[in-house]
Amino acid sequence: MPFLGEIKMNICNIKNVAVIGAGDMGHGIAELCALNGYTVYLKDIDQKFLDRAKNRIRESLNILARKGKLKDDNVETILERIIPTLEYKQALENCDLVIEAVPEIMSLKKSVFVKLDSILPKSAIIATNTSNMSITELATQTKRSSKVVGMHFFNPVILMKAIEIIKGDNTSSETMKFVEDFAYSLHKLPIPVLKDVPGFIVNRIQAPSSVLLNKIIEKKIATPNQIDANFRKIGQPMGPFELMDYVGLDIYKHGADYFAQKIDPEFKSPKWINELIDEGKLGKKTSYGIYDWSSGRPTINLEDTTENVDNKDILLVQVNEAAKLIEKGVVEYPGDIDIAIQNATGNVSGIFWLLKDDREYLINRLNSIADEMGIEIFRPIDFLKEMPFPSARKALKARKKKRRE
Ligand code: CAA
């Protein structure tokens, strides 16, 4: 959980933060910043989005207040630090750091970046909360590419501890450090992502397992409830299909189709999800999706599990994708991947425990999954054979040491 109250002014000399977009992520980011003592300009295109955001923030702060987690602050003083606005100029002219959180549409984000660059002070940093898209490409819309960085929060922002800090091709090390310090000042855990790859760490690793899960549904091997019940049984806070609904099927589709375009067509969002989207069923935000959310969190029948699907297969394709990231040098320490997964999704065990099984067996299993499903992205990469065990413990130790230096 966040900290609360002990930091009023911060370690990185930021006075004003602007958040562009007051939706699921934007309102949570604004709340988090205000909670930690920052003045936040929250910009959107319509007053009704701003009003809704403020109500959601108030509700969340009330929960924290009831639990005695606001220390010296109270709900109203924190809310006063959030200044809703419809005007870019008001949001940006005295701003040190802006976090863009508009919908996942590249052309929209690019037009926002042009606007930000034209109004912001020259020294200000532009961070984007994009879930998957290229930081480098967005930075081309500005004259300050060394000051453009990814800052990927996880939903719900107030509760999930990880923030991926993504280096674009031209992001300077000063900008990376500045934003990492800022993340620490929010009492979050920054995970540096050193190469600008689609989906960064967490979403990238989950992408092939979503392809496998969707194939399992299409082939009627199991139902979403059965899969989710299997994962709840091993202690995950949400099964993968409930999580898709929670985040939004539209968001899932944007990501999947982006991976299909940038990595491999096999990542494409499947027909059955596209049909739900066409019917306006986007998940939690529209009350219906894969599940019925009209009375709150859907009821998953935890008894209705399945033996047709081995949870290990789902995690194994994630391990293979993780190996690709480690081989490419995307992470600072290989164990960062488990740390990111644990702190972004509440999956307490991470994925690398699977590597304690016989490596040859795991590689054969990946080939069998690829053959059975007819999907090539599941093929094991050669590096998986020789990859040393990525230890989260070692990664945490190394990070702590680096921070002390
Ligand atoms: N503000 C403050 N506190 C809140 C809150 C809020 N908005 N929402 C919930 N809480 C508190 C509740 O009061 C409760 O506290 P107690 O345990 O002290 O009672 C606690 O948080 C848990 O909440 P609930 O009991 O309401 O619900 P839950 O136990 O079902 O947990 C959840 C909800 C935290 C979302 C949990 O299911 C979970 O961790 N799910 C996985 C989420 C995840 O994987 N997120 C990453 C998504 S991917 C992403 O975001 C990336 C992207 O690019 C889209």
What are the pLDDT digits (tens) for 222-253?
Answer: 999 999 999 999 999 999 999 999 999 999 99
What are the pLDDT digits (tens) for 380-397?
Answer: 999 999 999 999 999 999
Distance from the CA of 284 to the center of ligand 1, in angstroms? 13
Residues of the chain above pLDDT 90, percent = 93
pTM of the model: 0.95
Please tell me the class of the 12-193 domain: alpha beta
Pinpoint the residues of the chain covered by CATH 3.40.50.720. Answer: 12-193
In one letter, which amino acid is 311? Answer: N
156 lines ligand 1 (CB under 6 A): yes
Question: DSSP letter at 345?
Answer: H
The protein residue whose alpha carbon is closest to atom 38 in ligand 1 is 237
Angle of helix 202-218 versus helix 249-262 axis, rounded to 10: 100
Q: In what order do the strands lie in the sheet with 125-128?
A: 82-85, 39-43, 16-20, 97-100, 125-128, 148-152, 162-167, 189-193
In whole angstroms, give the CA distance from residue 184 to residue 21. Answer: 23
Nearest to 341 by CA among 212, 160, 213: 160
pLDDT at 402: 86
345 lines ligand 1 (CB under 6 A): yes
173, pLDDT greater than 90: yes
Q: Give catalytic status of residue 368 as yes or no.
A: no
Q: Give catalytic status of residue 203 as yes or no.
A: yes
Q: Give catalytic status of residue 36 as yes or no.
A: no
pLDDT at 269: 98
Question: DSSP letter at 154?
Answer: -
Ligand 1, atom nearest to 155 Cα: 50
Nearest to 141 by CA among 166, 111, 185: 111
Pinpoint the residues of the chain covered by CATH 1.10.1040.10. Answer: 311-404
142 lines ligand 1 (CB under 6 A): no
The protein residue whose alpha carbon is closest to atom 33 in ligand 1 is 237
What's the Cα-to-Cα distance from 302 to each of 155, 231, 240, 290, 349, rounded to whole Å?
A: 23, 10, 14, 16, 20
In whole angstroms, give the CA distance from residue 291 to residue 219. Answer: 19
Nearest to 316 by CA among 255, 359, 264, 266: 359
CB atoms within 10 A of CB 162: 23
Average pLDDT over residues 319-345: 97
- What three-state secondary structure class fits 185? helix
238 lines ligand 1 (CB under 6 A): yes
251-257 long-range contacts, CB within 8 A, separation 24+: 251/104, 251/131, 252/210, 253/277, 254/104, 254/105, 254/131, 254/132, 255/104, 255/131, 255/132, 255/199, 255/203, 255/207, 256/207, 256/210, 256/211
In whole angstroms, give the CA distance from residue 218 to residue 76. Answer: 49
- When pLDDT is cut at 50, 70 and 90, the band that residue 71 belongs to is confident
In whole angstroms, give the CA distance from residue 371 to residue 120. Answer: 52
- When pLDDT is cut at 50, 70 and 90, the band that residue 72 belongs to is confident
1, pLDDT greater than 70: no
CB 189 within 8 A of CB 162: yes
Q: Give catalytic status of residue 152 as yes or no.
A: yes
| Ranges of H-type helices in 264-355 | 271-278, 311-328, 336-345
- CATH number for the 311-404 domain, one of 1.10.1040.10, 3.90.76.10, 3.10.150.10, 3.30.70.2860? 1.10.1040.10
Distance from the CA of 322 to the center of ligand 1, in angstroms? 25
Determine which one of 16, 60, 129, 203 is catalytic: 203
In whole angstroms, give the CA distance from residue 312 to residue 294. Answer: 32
